[in-house]
Structure 1
Amino acid sequence: MTKPPLVETPEGWVPAGLKVRGKASATAPKAQPDVGPASLAESVLVAEPEADPPKTAAESKASFRPMPVLTVLSIICLGILYMLGDWQWAKYVEKSRAPALSTATAPVSVAAALQSSQPDYRPVELTGLVDPRSVKVRALRDGISGYRIFSPVVLEDGWIFVDRGFVAEADANKVPALSGQVSYRGVLRKGAKANSFTPDNDPVLNVWFWPDLPAMGTSLKLTGGSPAYYVALNLVDPLATGQTQINPWADSKGANQIPPERHLGYALTWWGFGFALIGVYTGLHIRTGRLRFGRSPS
């Protein structure tokens, strides 16, 4: 016996021809939804969320494919930034450790100062015969290129170079030669290379970029020893104009008036640029898909 077809009514699905609340159901049945086992299974399959595809080995492992040109340029820039920061850090350490000079400190002889535990920046006074020859050491002061004039002074127990002051490059040939006995006051300074960026001297061509005192003495054929220190005069007048000036290389804070705290700021700035460059380099490689980090399995 076949069952009558079902029709849809406001009250739900009922057999065709059945009266519901005094009304007969429609004789033309509408399509009955298939609620059989196959349909139910299909609906369950549709409703079930789709599973994530399995991760491949490339997606689960870290990978890095550097850009060749960018990598080389970044390494060069990082090296330069590091050296600039290291240079400023060395200046900061040097100036921080420099003893403060006191005007009340009485100067001593050069020999006594050289025998002290800290000869650098020790106030001294000397009397001796000045050699008319001099050595011009290239220098930069207040943005002006020029030379520092070093003249040897013969003492009772040897000789020592004296820094007579700075002259602009245009006035280098106007420095008068000194002779006879002189008396000076200044501070002992150690002849040393300023930093790794300072060029090397060329004694053969008589080109000097820093006071290499033994080599300077050899170039003038001085005998009796090559001291490691020179005397930076407190007041200088290398052109003999009658107007003395303060010699910045005799200052206990170094060869210029920049405080040590500013050198520390410069060092941190250069190194900060280096870290920023690393961040930009890493971010660019991540954005272009050349740098992937491994993902742990869930």
Structure 2
Amino acid sequence: MTKPPLVETPEGWVPSGLKVRGKAGAKPTPSPVVAQPAVRPTATPSMPVPMPVESAAEVTEAKAATDSQASFRPMPVLTILSIICLGILYMLGDWQWAKYVEKSRAPAISAATAPVSVAAALQSSQPEYRPVELTGLVDPRSVKLRALRDGISGYRIFTPVVLEDGWIFVDRGFVAEADANKVPALSGQVSYRGVLRKGAKANSFTPDNDPILKDWFWPDLPAMGASLKLTGGSPAYYVALNLVDPLATGQTQINPWADSKGANQIPPERHLGYALTWWGFGFALIGVYTGLHIRTGRLRFGRSPS
């Protein structure tokens, strides 16, 4: 095939018969660009939606507001058990404190103090712990009162003695439970020395007596006298002998219930130590309870704004 001849034109050499518009070498005019609206990418499960970024100031302000709020979410079971334990510890401490106060206020009995008759001691302003002496006819019957001495359970033997103007119980001493049936019955005229003691419960933990079963835990003197069908007398007080020998062994012992500082040989300072110990356990329990809630984040203390 023969190529058409070239023809020279102002725009340059071109094939013959070809029409040329415009100028040679001229750049094409760009078509106008129409702005297209921005299309946001559609979120897909594999591409998380971008969240707005908070400024550092906003984060600090939110954290400060959270820290400034106090909160407390108690553990239910632990809280109930702690309240019960605190109540028990308080009562034990209060009991020992009462014993401390009682023994601290008890008058000291001097060995040189001359004993008086039971009638004269009962007429004094403070009959308890007054030294007395008595002579009368002993009743062969006795009442066994449950007691504990030096960790040994047993009984205190209460025997009535008939005086000129009535009768009064005499505490003859303590015997172990194994020797309770070995206590001999007395008869005839006796003479004793001791101190007056008031018949009352030792504390709120002392069990109640059962007169029907003749089970005695504290010296309820009127009920004990009624169980022996005794009338009259001085049922409010009994005589705790200074020296006792309930088994008639010939070896007398000191009766701790005749001690002027109380119904045992524990000094009042020791009762004070017991009270402080029980109450100290209570404060320690509060500290453990509080620390556990702080550690688990259930207790937070608010911060004051600076």
Fold match, TM over 0.5? yes
Tell me, yes or no, if structure 1 residue 204 matches structure 2 residue 212.
yes
1:247 and 2:259 equivalent?
no
Q: Which residue of 1 aligns with 2:135?
A: 127
Contact 2:165 2:233 in 1 (8 A): no
Structure 1 match to 2:56: 50
In 1, Cα distance between the equivalents of 2:70 and 2:61? 19
CA contact 1:217–1:226 (8 Å) conserved in 2? no
| One-letter code aligned to 2:142 | S
Aligned: 1:230 with 2:238: yes
From 190, 199, 224, the equivalent of 2:198 is: 190
> Paired residue for 1:137, among 111, 122, 145?
145
Does the aligned pair in 2 maintain the 1:148–1:166 contact within 8 Å?
Answer: yes
- Counterparts of 1:1-298 in structure 2 under 5 Å? 50-51=56-57, 52-55=60-63, 59-298=67-306
Q: CA deviation at 1:63?
A: 2.0
| Identity of matched residues, % | 92
- Deviation for aligned residue 1:53: 3.1
> Counterparts of 2:188 and 2:252 in 1: how far apart (Å)?
20
Name stretches of at least 5 consecutive residues in structure 2 with no aligned partner.
1-54
- Alpha-carbon distance in 1 for matches of 2:94, 2:114: 36
Structure 2 residue identity aligned to 1:125: E
Does 224-233 or 127-136 show the bigger shift?
224-233
Letter in 2 for 1:119: P
Number of residues of Structure 1 aligned to a counterpart in Structure 2 = 250
C-alpha distance in 2 between matches for 1:202 and 1:109: 32
Q: Which runs of 5+ in 1 are unaligned?
A: 1-48
Q: How far is the alpha carbon of 1:81 from its aligned partner?
A: 0.8
Over aligned residues, Cα RMSD in angstroms?
1.6
| Counterpart for residue 15 of structure 1 | none
Larger radius of gyration between Structure 1 and Structure 2: 2
**Counterpart in the other structure of 1:45:** none
Of 60-69 and 235-244, deviating more is 60-69
Q: Deviations along 1:93-148, whole A, 9 cap, x unmatched? A: 11111111111111000010011111111000011111111110011111111000
> What is the rounded CA distance, in whole Å, between the counterparts of 1:64 and 1:160 in structure 2?
62
Q: Which amino acid aligns with 2:268?
A: P
User: d(CA) in 2 for partners of 1:278 and 1:84?
Assistant: 17
- Normalising by structure 2, we get a TM-score of 0.78
Normalising by structure 1, we get a TM-score of 0.80
